[in-house]
Structure 1
Amino acid sequence: MVKNVAIVSLSSGIMGESFVEFEKNIGIKRLEDFGLNVRFMPHALLGLEYIKDHPEKRALDLLDALRDPDIDMILCAIGGDDTYRLLPYLFENDELKEAATDKIFLGFSDTTINHFMLHKVGMTTFYGQAFLPDVCELATDMLPYTKNYFQELIATGTIHEITPSDVWYEERTEFSPEKVGTSTPSHPNKGFELLQGPATFSGKILGGCIDSMYDFFDGERYEDMPVLCRKYHLFPDTKDWEGRIILLETSEEKPSPEKFKKALEYLKSTGVFEAVSGVLVGKPQNEIYADEYKKLLVEVISNPKLPIIFNVNIGHATPRCIIPFGVEAVVDANNQIIRFK
């Protein structure tokens, strides 16, 4: 059972800004109501500019949280866009390898890059939720589907199975104290959609936000990101992908079909789709480009025998489940369930 939670800002430092303090306080109370002791790592609340300018301090917070025997769980504040800049401070002298542990690490979005870092040193991690977007939800409570998985993780230290949410919610467009206690419209959810291939398959899951994975290979956002990712061999080689399931989900930027296609083509060029046992794809935010994405997945992957499941409630569309990385999973589209061993 989780007792002590450390919150880190590994990408954006927005959690330290005064205009989100009311959200932070909502989240702290909810975590304390779960019986958790909450600790913010030393640099996590120093704001946007400081966090942007000091990737070495972000890395230090992660390393210190991993090393601290009193911390049971590391919870990311939110995503962002430049956590790749931690790479030299975590890998140049094997700092992350020496700090690696079996404690829980939870985050999504740009945190995809951190998941790949931790995978590189042999850690199992958990993808799908974060402090500000989920625990600090402005409704009267965390969204029920989201809350159920978060409670399971802190109570048991793992996730045993996931099923689709009955509904999905439109994303908030305004975050202010006046919106506290309000809900966004919800719509019926379709469940897991099998686009092609066998309905049942298995393997350990790895992946995350496809926008972040695009940046592994393309310097459009940051010119030095592909350079650093290659230097530290962050993207696993084809052999490491063999028998795994790759998870892909799209960000709040709602990548155009053209960009989504290019990202898939980058991934295909690595041989990943020839190595994995299946593909899980998250529901796009507000279902934007859902039909276009489904068509492109089948066309670009161009391997009819490879199972592709679309519309998993993970990542940037709410509500969100939590998916363990590095744990054997059995996906059963017919029975609408993914079980973890």
Structure 2
Amino acid sequence: MSWYHEPAAVPSNDHRQNAEQRQSQLTKPAGSLGQLESLAITLASLQASDQPQCDNVSITVFAADHGVAAEGVSAFPQEVTAQMVQNFSAGGAAISVLAKSLGAQLGVINVGTVSELPDMEGVSDQRIAAGTANFTKKAAMSSDQLQQALHIGQKTVLKAKENGAQLWIGGEMGIANTTSATALACAYLKKHAAEIVGPGTGLDNAGQIHKSSVIHRALDVFNATSQQPLKNLQYLGGFEIAALTGAYIAAGQIGLPVLVDGFICSVAALYAAAINPSIKPWLLLSHQSAEPGHSSVLAAFEQQPIIDLGLRLGEGSGAATAVPLLRLACDLHNQMATFESAGVDNKS
């Protein structure tokens, strides 16, 4: 059995029940804090703790290029992937600012930019290849390359856990990766590309129609089905998407809660859960992306995202934006008085 099929850790039902009981005793009408209550209860169960915490947050952005960019499916040139890696390192990207504001650990892993990059602070060079192949013509990656990407994701969350992370966030950067993610979503959800395709980096309507046709052509070449998630990843995925998939699986196996970012990360999470269904409880959905296909992907999880701010940047930015709400949920759960301790009458 491959490592990614090994079962996930089991959330603590005792701590869930304790958290539910405590919520019923806090000085508020039951359920009046809505999702802030359920988030605290979920985290208590996942962390096996009566005092859930999100103080130590680890964020990793995986970056890679995509051969399908040659089909003109992005509004930005492929060089932007490498340029944004440099921007992450310099602290100028949105996720860099958010991580600093949150006091979170931020790491960037280059799993496959087209060009080699110089050594940069905060960037780990783990290039598998100079981008994936153009999946309209051949498989995006070899089986061995897929295994490498999954393993990079696994190692990343193992290290985060060793460093004391209480919550892990994965992000991505890769020009044309919404095309890859859309193709993967179509293959798994049995949707036509036109139902899911979106603007990505800012395509106009004509650009989206072209993008849809490129994806449809690729799906015709490779007869993808929901029954073969690993093969779908190999033929249609990106190195950063596969690394995220491996990270989500490993996080569930070691009992590290993860906050899933937007469309691309949610597709990786969808595939992680398809490969290993036992990891699903460890995936917390951070936000509703403005990318049109995200709703279809989220529906497969039967879970309400924490926020909806019309975000569609990627990088892990939506998940990072939701962290303060998780922290507030924990603080409310841990610090509010009970009816008994405050001397307040409970309902009769």
The answer to whether TM tops 0.5 is no
Larger radius of gyration: 2
> What is the TM-score normalised by the length of structure 2?
0.32
Structure number having the greater strand percentage:
1
User: Greater relative contact order: 1 or 2 (C-alpha under 8 angstroms, separation 6 or more)?
Assistant: 2
